[in-house]
Chain A
Amino acid sequence: MDLDLTPFLLSFKLAGMTTLILFFIAVPMSWWLSQSRCRCKPFVEALVSLPIVLPPSVIGFYILVALSHNSPLGAFFEETFGITLVFNFTGLVIASVFYSFPFMVQPLQGGFESLNKNMLEASYIAGKSKLVTLIKVALPNIKPALLTAVIVTFAHTVGEFGVVLMVGGSIPGETKVASVAIYEFVETMNYGEAHIYSALMLAMSFTVLLGVYLFNQRYSRRFGVHT
């Protein structure tokens, strides 16, 4: 049997890009959430966490509506840049960024909140700006949370199904990621390939998670910090 690895490569490409984009959005966002006493904070937090509770089909539907060429946004991109935002890889990345947002924000926010406030204040007193404090003091001291956020976001994007199917369809080599491919194998009663793909997914997911937890255990032993 000739194993086509394209869906896997597509899954990892999607997860990698989503994680990278989310990192740069989520770090400032979670830093702000952890430091803010703004009254609007609960609203922002609720909004960020929505993808955890909403059915993927609902998110997929709204993204589809918002990005399709019938919407002002979709029309704008199509006319100005000649880019279509749905049923292609770009659309998948945009949808995944929304869908995986809380998985990046929440561990980071938790990490920032667990930092000793006095340590951050000591940095301000030393004359360092908030940005320098974030980069040189806050981020290096939440390494376990940082790793958890990155890995969970990556893994969650690899494991995504509903949103991808709705926004991307199942175009081979473009939007047909591993989870969608497995679904199609099962639908066409091709259990053999479904088994292989599923087992691969299972093994990879477990290995990645095990790696994260091993790292966190060693880190907390070495530095005596809580993860």
Chain B
Amino acid sequence: MIQIQITKTLSKSLKLEVDLNIAPHSFLAISGESGSGKTTLLRILAGLESAEGVINVSDDVWLNKQINLPPQKRHIGFVFQDYALFENMTVLENLLFVAPQKELANELLEMCDLTALKTRYPSTLSGGQKQRVALCRAMMRQPKILLLDEPLSALDPKMRTNLQHNILALHKRFKTTTIMVSHDPSEIYRLADRVVVLKDAKVVKDGSPKEVLLQTQGSHKFSIRGELLEIVQADLIYVGVVSIGQQIVEVVMDAQEADNFSVGETVYINTKAFSPSLSKITD
């Protein structure tokens, strides 16, 4: 069991307060708006930032009143958003720098399809390749906890899917406890078995991805969050233009609704009368 009970003052009005117990070998996702303390929490776990409280990992104390283990002694793997590879070393050297175990290094490179690239320098790799190297490098430590700080946010959607497979495969093969900061609901749904949502540096939601992520409101069957971009009057009715993800949709409004909403607001689009259906994209 991993026990985390920490507090840290982030600014005058913001205090990070987290109390979590994490089951061994589980995959926890941490979500929340930027500035909510997700990355700070990860860095505290890694020993890169100080905090008050207790961190116990199985029988080891990482943090309490007397002890604050430095990152060198925590046996963690950390994957940074910007990869942070050692630019002066080849792919293989990056891995062997962490631990001089050639067999493990070769196995990891094989698992992530990097064998052909092992003599290349990081500056010659693509973003997705670099992040795979970073992932392998983190696993060389044979970590008790693998920490991933928005590891896929800089990559394109197709590359993300590939890397999600890699992450899951490594998580299972090495039986690590994985904690990942992520904004992407589909990523969380696919990988994690538990999600914690932080808001203003406090845990506001904690549950399975399905419980936390499935967007429904009251008796509605279907709710999607979006941003109201414009309200246009067309004869007697009004049309609200809403952006959802990368798409723009129109919703009919009556005069009273048009009065009630203002442009720029975050809104829900709800429906219960129709059942939505899926169709394939053919372009």
Contact = CB atoms under 8 A, between A and B. Distances in A.
Interface string A105-128: 000000000001011011111111
Contact of B82 (A116, A126, A225): A116
Given A137-B86, A141-B88, A122 B72 contact: no
B123 A125 contact: no
Say which size band chain A's interface belongs to. Answer: 10 to 19
A136 interface: yes
B78 A119 contact: no
Given A129-B72, A223-B123, A224-B123, A123 B86 contact: yes
A140 interface: yes
B98 interface: yes
B98 A126 contact: yes
A117 to B, nearest CB: 8
B77 to A, nearest CB: 7
Nearest to A225: B87
B82 A223 contact: no
Nearest to A136: B97
A121 B99 CA distance: 16
B72 A141 contact: no
Interface string A69-100: 00000000000000000000000000000000
B88 A125 contact: no
Interface in B75-112: 76-78, 80, 82, 84-88, 97-99
Contacts of B185: none
B71 interface: yes
A119 B86 contact: yes
A121 B84 contact: yes
A141 B88 CA distance: 6
A125 B76 contact: yes
B141 interface: yes
Nearest to B80: A118
Given A118-B80, A223-B123, A224-B123, A125 B141 contact: yes
A51 B107 CA distance: 55
Contact of B71 (A116, A124, A141): A124
Contacts of A127: 72-73, 98, 141
B46 interface: yes
